[in-house]
Amino acid sequence: MIEERFDAIVVGAGMAGNAAALTMAKHGMKVLQLERGEYSGSKNVQGAILYADMLEKLIPDFREEAPLERHLVEQRFWMLDDRSHVGLHYRSDDFNEERPNRYTIIRAQFDKWFSSKVKEAGATVLCETTVTELVQDAYGKVIGVKTDRRDGEIHADVVVLAEGVNGLLGTRAGLRERPKAENVALAVKEMHFMPRETIESRFNLKGDEGSVIEAAGTISRGMTGMGFIYANKECVSLGIGCLVSDFQKTGETPYGLLERFKQHPSVAPLIEGSEVKEYSAHLIPEGGYNAIPQLCGDGWVVVGDAAQLNNAIHREGSNLAMTSGRIAADAIFQIKSRRDPMTAQNLSLYKKMLENSFVIKDLKKYKDMPALLHNQSQNFFLTYPELVSKAMQNFVRVDGTPKKEKESSMLRSFVKARSWTGLFGDAFRFARAWR
Q: Which residues bind other proteins (CB under 8 A)?
A: 36-38, 41-46, 48, 82-83, 106-109, 111, 127-130, 132, 147-149, 165-166, 168, 178-181, 184, 186, 188, 190-191, 218, 235, 244, 247-248, 251-256, 258-260, 263-264, 276-283
Nearer to other proteins, 182 or 298 (CB): 182
Picking from 362, 351, 355, 352, the residue whose alpha carbon sits closest to that of residue 301 is 351
Least Å distance between CB 325 and other proteins? 18
Nearer to other proteins, 106 or 296 (CB): 106
Helix (H) or strand (E) holding 21: helix 15-26
Least Å distance between CB 214 and other proteins? 19
Nearer to other proteins, 28 or 195 (CB): 195
Q: Is 195 exposed, middle or buried (0-12, 13-18, 19+ CB in 10 A)?
A: exposed
Nearer to other proteins, 34 or 296 (CB): 34
Nearer to other proteins, 177 or 340 (CB): 177
Helix (H, G, I), strand (E, B) or coil at 340: coil
Identify the bridge partners of residue 228 per DSSP, sorted by sequence position.
Answer: 214, 239
Least Å distance between CB 383 and other proteins? 15
d(CA 204, CA 74): 10
Least Å distance between CB 238 and other proteins? 12
d(CA 187, CA 217): 16
Nearer to other proteins, 167 or 365 (CB): 167
188 contacts: CB under 8 Å, gap ≥ 6:
239, 240, 241, 254, 255, 257, 258, 279, 280, 281
Least Å distance between CB 404 and other proteins? 33
Beta-carbon-side half-sphere exposure of residue 22 (alpha carbons within 13 Å): 26
d(CA 363, CA 290): 9
Least Å distance between CB 47 and other proteins? 10
Least Å distance between CB 233 and other proteins? 12
Nearer to other proteins, 32 or 296 (CB): 32
Least Å distance between CB 196 and other proteins? 16
* Strands of 184-331, DSSP E: 184-193, 209-217, 225-231, 235-243, 275-285, 296-297, 300-302
Q: Is 356 exposed, middle or buried (0-12, 13-18, 19+ CB in 10 A)?
A: exposed
d(CA 263, CA 79): 16
Nearer to other proteins, 109 or 348 (CB): 109
Do 14 and 162 meet the contact criterion of CB atoms below 8 Å apart? yes
